[in-house]
Structure 1
Amino acid sequence: MIEVVDVSKTFGDKVVLDGINARFDDSNTSLIIGQSGHGKSVLLKCIVGLIQPDKGKVLYDGRDFISGDDDTKREIRREIGMLFQGNALFDSKDVEGNVMFPLDMLTSMSREEKLERVNFCLKRVGLENVNKRMPSEISGGMQKRVGIARAIVLNPKYLFCDEPNSGLDPLTAIKIDELIGEITDEYKITTIVVTHDMNSVMTIGEYILYIHRGRKLWQGNSQTITDTTSPELQEFIFANRLLRDANNQRAKTS
């Protein structure tokens, strides 16, 4: 479980996060949603330690990631897997090398053990026999799957996904959502996804945190979100429906 306690962050005169409180449970796919520029990505970066909040706590199973000692922070970092928005694959490494990279950096496993783990993770995301292909030789959806395989190769307790459906067609996006949900449930991971995609919200949103202008405006799940009385969230949902319909129409005519 990850707990965010009264987290705030200011850049200059701009308040980006204002007293955010949330709890992300084990074996749940939790979503942080909101419009661009309203703080959701900054919150994610505070949770994973890329940005230091001005105040507040981030607790990983009770361990303070903000003010904990160096040993505590190193221990938590080893338990984190990250899927970046742009995949962040190394162009100079093949698929096998990309997935193996965390094992090379953080473990003392033998080459045979690393390869066995890489092949297991690639198989789990539906990518067998692509080890020697370069990122430029595979589709965007396959690149996302490689990114997921790399994110889980160290068997993390916590998985973070930053806009995992960015740049994907609707059908591929649904498959990536389903894969994230399956892995979360199968390995009992605490998963947090930053997204603006309402398809993701309705498919895998077991817990949803809506950020508006740096504040937590709503929390709930995919069953309750459409019943919201928040005009800001209603507008967000409506705008996403228009965008989804336009994308679907373009997909049909292309």
Structure 2
Amino acid sequence: MIEIKNIQKTFGERTILSGISGKFLPGDTSLIIGGSGTGKSVLLKCMIGLIKPEEGQVLYDGRDFLTGDEDTQKAIRREMGVLFQGGALFDSKTVLENVRFPLDMLTNMATSEKMERAQFCLQRVGLENAADRMPSEISGGMKKRVGIARAIVMNPKYLFCDEPNSGLDPLTSIKIDELIREITDEFKITTVVITHDMNSMMEIGEKIMFLYQGKKMWEGSSSTITQSKVAELNEFIYANKLLRDTKA
């Protein structure tokens, strides 16, 4: 379980996050949603240690990531998998080498073990036949699947996905959502997804946190989100539905 308590973050005189608290449970696909500039990506960066908030706690199964000693922080980082928005693949490495990279950097596994683990993860995302291809030779959706394979190669307890469907067509987006949900359920991972995709909200939003101007305005599930009486959330949902209908 991941628990955040009273996360506060400012840049200069601007408050980006104001007292954000919440819990994210194993086996659940939890979404953090909101418009551009609402603080959702900053919150994710606070949770994975790329940004340090002025106040608050980030607890991983009770371990404080922000104030823990170096060994504690390293142990937690080894238990994280991150899918970055652009995929963040190395152009000079093959698909298999990209997936294997965390094992090369963070473990003392034998080469044969690394290869076996990387190949298993590629197979899990349906890309076992793309192992020797370069990132420039595969589609955007395939790059996202490579990113997911790399994110789970260390067998993480916690998975973070930053806008996994950005730049993808609707059908590919649905497949990526299904893959994230399947992996979360199969390995009982605590998964946190940053998104503004309406389909993701309705299909995989077992728990949803809505941010508006740096504050948590609503929390619930996909089955209750349309019943919200929060005006800002309803406007956000309507705008996304209108955009989706226009694209369709």
Task: Tell me which residue corresponds to 1:130.
Answer: 130
- Whole-Å Cα distance in 1 between the matches of residues 200 and 95 of structure 2? 26
Alignment of 1:16-31 (within 5 A): 16-31=16-31
Matches of 1:145 and 1:133, distance apart in 2: 14
C-alpha separation between the residues in 2 aligned to 1:104 and 1:202?
38
Residue in 2 that maps onto 1:252:
none
Q: Deviations over 1:204-232 (max 9, x none)?
A: 00000000000000000000000001110
**Aligned runs of 1:197-236 on 2, under 5 Å?**
197-236=197-236
Give secondary structure in 2 for the equivalent of 1:166: coil
TM-superposed deviation, 1:155:
0.2
- Which contiguous aligned blocks of 4+ residues in structure 1 show a shift greater than 3 angstroms? none
Aligned to 2:78: 78
Q: Which amino acid aligns with 1:49?
A: G
Classify the secondary structure of the residue corresponding to 2:129: coil
Partner of 2:149: 149
Corresponding residue for 2:15? 15
**CA drift at 1:111:** 1.3
Give structure 2 stretches of 5+ with no counterpart. none
Q: 1:90 corresponds to which residue?
A: 90
Secondary structure, counterpart of 2:141 in structure 1: helix
User: 2: CA distance between counterparts of 1:9 and 1:112?
Assistant: 44
**CA distance in structure 2 between the partners assigned to 1:129 and 1:175 by the alignment:** 18
Alignment deviations for residues 108-159 of structure 1 (CA, whole Å, 9 cap, x no partner)? 1111111110110001001112111000101100000000000000000000
Equivalent in the alignment of 2:242: 242
Q: Distance in 1 between matches of 2:102 and 2:216?
A: 34
Aligned mates of 2:44, 2:14 — CA distance in 1: 18
Aligned twin of 2:113: 113
Give the AA of the match of 1:179: L
Give, in whole Å, the separation in 2 of the partners of 1:130 and 1:197.
28
- For 1:2, the equivalent position in structure 2 comes to 2
Give the aligned residue type for 2:239. Answer: A
Q: For 1:59 and 1:111, how far apart are their aligned partners in 2?
A: 34
Q: Which amino acid aligns with 1:247?
A: K
* Count of matched residue pairs: 248
What CA deviation, in whole Å up to 9, does each residue of 1:25-84 have, x standing for no partner? Answer: 111000000000010000000000100001000000000001111111000000000000
**Matched position secondary structure for 1:141:** helix
C-alpha separation in 1, matches of 2:173 and 2:30: 17
Aligned to 1:251: none
CA RMSD of aligned residues (A): 0.5
* Counterpart Cα distance in 2 of 1:128 and 1:79: 24
Aligned mates of 1:244, 1:144 — CA distance in 2: 21
User: Structure 1: which amino acid aligns with 2:73?
Assistant: K
Distance 2:107 2:38 in 1: 38
Alignment of 1:175-214 (within 5 A): 175-214=175-214
Structure 1, unpaired ranges of 5+ = 249-254
